[in-house]
Amino acid sequence: MTYTLLHHTGCSTSRKGLALLEENGIQPEIRKYMNAGEALSFDELKDIAKKMGASSPRDFLRAKDAEKFDVPDTLSDEELYAAMADNPRLIQRPIGIKGDKAALGRPIEKLLDIV
């Protein structure tokens, strides 16, 4: 089963997460979700939340960027998924996905929880 890493090359934590996976013999399929051609859809974000066991997209919202882009706290979950799909900077990273499981790599060692 393929391990997919939602990765942003400009993020040091994301790079460290990738290095950790590789050190443990895992060669993930890399999805550079910040690139327009690899962006995550509304439905994909909902599916990732389900795989994480997240109760809300706020569980993997990048809070400092939400503040930077004036994302109001009053958004519904559906509105927040839409905002994250429109602006991938709002998505915390890295996120590992394998089968029906996903893990937010904060700390990066959590990426190994779904191996």
Q: Residue 25, by phi and psi: left (phi above 0), alpha (psi -120 to 50) or beta?
A: left
Q: Per the structure block, which two tokens stand in for 72?
A: 């109001």
CA dihedral 92, 32, 47, 111 (to 10 degrees): -60
pLDDT of residue 100: 97
Q: Is-cis flag, bond preceding 107, omega within 30?
A: yes
Catalytic residue status for 11: yes
What is the pTM for the complete model shown? 0.95
What's the CA gap between 61 and 54, in Å, rounded? 11
> pLDDT tens, 62-109?
999 999 999 999 999 999 999 999 999 999 999 999 999 999 999 999
Q: Considering the chain, what percentage of its residues have pLDDT values greater than 70?
A: 100
Give the contacts of 56 (CB within 8 A, at least 6 positions apart). 49, 77, 80
Task: Delimit the domains of the chain by residue range.
Answer: 3-114
Q: Which CATH class is domain 3-114?
A: alpha beta
Burial of 39-75, coded b for 16+ CB within 10 Å and e otherwise, reads bbeeebbbebbebbebeebeebbbeeebeeeebeeeb
**One of 3, 4, 11, 15 is an active-site residue; which one?**
11
